[in-house]
Amino acid sequence: MKRSRIEVRWHGRGGHGAVTGAMILAEAAFIEGYRGVTAAPFFGAERRGAPVIATNRFGPRPIRTFSLVTEPDVVIVLDETLMDIVDVSAGLKPDGIIIINTVRPPEDFTLSERFNVATCDAFHCAIEAGLVVSGTVLFNTTILGGFSRATGLISMKSIEKALGNNFSGEALEKNIEGARRAYENTRYLKPCTLECA
């Protein structure tokens, strides 16, 4: 279904890089040609490991709304254990999609009975690409490839250009490799029908 803008809500934990992922997704959306683009974090006095939300909005016209996304078109879940304590599907539009970082297939989730679900093992794709620093796996950029594959709203070319605005040299190569692996690894129940006009 066509939308005047697409709204995205990220669910992660402190230290997962949800805010950085949302910022890079916003850059990729602008590169893709969307003229209205926002990225905003929503957290209080959280610490590493505590639930964190970040949001994006993008569309063909300027966007002046920066409030929390309450009725998302797309939900990105960086840690599937959050689904035990947070209703990640809250407000999700009926034709929306949930993208979950997991090794499990989409049909394993009870949410698949009500929503389109896509799964992407961004964590292991990041490891395979060498995105590990001091023992920490950096998969927040990797899942951007899963977003591209699952939604079709932003191309991998735009994702890669946005990554190039934030990384260089070997770090850039690893981030692009991780995103490409995630793109190839992503599985979904059915093709996403979201469009923005």
Name the CATH superfamily, with its identifier, for domain 2-188. Answer: Pyruvate-ferredoxin oxidoreductase, PFOR, domain III (3.40.920.10)
Distance separating alpha carbons of residues 135 and 133, to the nearest angstrom: 5
The residues spanned by each domain of the chain are 2-188
Q: Are 156 and 179 in contact (CB under 8 A)?
A: yes
- Helix, strand, coil fractions of the chain, as percent rounded to 5: 35, 25, 40
For the stretch 109-155, pLDDT in tens is 998 889 999 999 999 999 999 999 999 999 999 999 999 999 999 99
Q: Which two tokens stand for residue 32?
A: 């893709």
Q: What is the pLDDT of residue 105?
A: 97
Q: Is the pTM of this model over 0.85?
A: yes
Strand, coil or helix: what is 181?
helix
